[in-house]
Amino acid sequence: MRKVGICGAGLIGASWAIGFANAGYKSLVYDNDPNSSENFKNIFDKLIQDIKLIDPDIDAEIIKSNIQLNCSMEKICEDSILIQESVVEDLKVKQDIYKQLDELTSKDTILASSSSYLVISKISEFVEHKHRCINAHPALPPHVVPFVEIAGSQDTSKEIINEALNIYKKANYAAILVKRETEGFVLNRLQGALLNEAVRLHEGGFASMEDIDIALKHALGIRWAFMGPFEIMDLNAPEGIKDSFSRYRTGIQNLARQQNTVPSYSDEYLNKLDKEQRQRLDYHDRSDRIEKRNKMIALIRKLKIELGEDV
């Protein structure tokens, strides 16, 4: 059984451990917090519950038996094909961990960081064997969203990138390649573009938070749940994608010219956001809404699987 080391066992690490274990890997889990195993057991059942909505036939006992908690750093490094690092989002901490991992693993073990904003050229700056260091950034919530984006630095070898893509794909993740290092990778760059525009629309007095949320969830997101921007543009004019862009380019370019401001995100504005939010959404039902979110994602994935539209 091929082994994967899980370094850092919070929600992200736990989701990776379950994902790999469910795909038939042995997940070896290390965390420097002595309570982490107890925490892991507590969230395990909750995560499995969501995953069972996607596939009721999943066997929680087999997954559990493929996860070994309470491992030492040495243990997870011993003969793992890949280490998934998901410690706190702090450059210095990650750099220290990477130096340890580099010393404890064989030279061909892939060292993959879950970091969302810290690029691997920085994280691996003081590592000797940089060729096997990558970003492998998941999406939220990771236990039900089967996505990872892989990015290397200039020092990462092509073989390692390809091997990583294969490993994640075999573990049933939609694995994409970020070909050039960039802050935010692909996921957060797309998300950030939309989020900044949502804030421009709200701050500029064009629409309420409620109405912007409605536009995304009842009009745009309902398509984006199963088709990407280039797939959709192919359907928007009779001759396909080139025809669509030729018709719309002047309009889209005009928008780009107007969407080039940087929202302030000042405390004053965030207080205003918070006030408007609390008038329509109760803070105290946040955990219910998180559960609802996870359930909805799981059920949409179930639908996509049934229709052959999933990963």
Task: Name residues contacting its own copies, limited to 98-117 (CB under 8 A).
Answer: 117
Binding residue count for its own copies, defined by CB under 8 A: 105
259 contributes a contact to its own copies by CB under 8 A? yes
Beta strands at 133-138 and 147-152: parallel, antiparallel or unpaired: antiparallel
Question: Which residue in the set 145, 160, 161, 164 belongs to the binding site for its own copies (CB under 8 A)?
Answer: 145
CA distances from 105 to 7, 76, 115, 235, 307 (A): 13, 9, 20, 49, 42
Least distance from its own copies to the Cβ atom of residue 128, Å: 28
Nearer to its own copies by C-beta: 62 or 193? 193
163 contributes a contact to its own copies by CB under 8 A? no
The reply to whether omega before 141 is within 30° of 0 (cis) is: yes
Least distance from its own copies to the Cβ atom of residue 173, Å: 9
Instruction: Kindly report the backbone phi and psi dihedral angles of residue 35, in degrees, each rounded to the nearest multiple of 5, phi listed first.
Output: -90, 0
Nearer to its own copies by C-beta: 3 or 137? 137
Q: Which of 59, 74, 154 is nearest to 109 (CA)?
A: 74
Q: Which of 64, 33, 53 is nearest to 301 (CA)?
A: 53
The neighbour count for residue 123, using CB atoms within 10 Å, is 24
58 contributes a contact to its own copies by CB under 8 A? no
Nearer to its own copies by C-beta: 62 or 194? 194
62 contributes a contact to its own copies by CB under 8 A? no
Q: In the numeric block, which tokens belong to residue 187?
A: 């996921």
91 contributes a contact to its own copies by CB under 8 A? no
Nearer to its own copies by C-beta: 64 or 295? 295
> Cα 275 to chain center, whole Å?
29
Contact 67, 15 (CB under 8 A): no
94 contributes a contact to its own copies by CB under 8 A? no
Least distance from its own copies to the Cβ atom of residue 282, Å: 10
- The pattern of x and - marking residues 194 through 233 that bind its own copies according to CB under 8 A reads xxxxx--xx-xxxxxx-xxxxxxxxxxxxxxxxxxxxxxx
Counting Cα atoms < 13 Å in the Cβ hemisphere of 221 gives 12
188 contributes a contact to its own copies by CB under 8 A? yes
Q: Which residues inside 20-39 make contact with its own copies, applying CB under 8 A?
A: none
What's at 107, amino acid-wise?
A: K
149 contributes a contact to its own copies by CB under 8 A? yes
Least distance from its own copies to the Cβ atom of residue 135, Å: 13
- 21-33: string of b/e by CB count within 10 Å (b at 16+)? bbbebbbbbbbee
Nearer to its own copies by C-beta: 41 or 286? 286
Which residues are bridge partners to 149 per DSSP?
Answer: 137, 176
Q: Which stretch binds its own copies (CB under 8 A): 10-18, 46-54, 95-103, 251-259?
A: 251-259
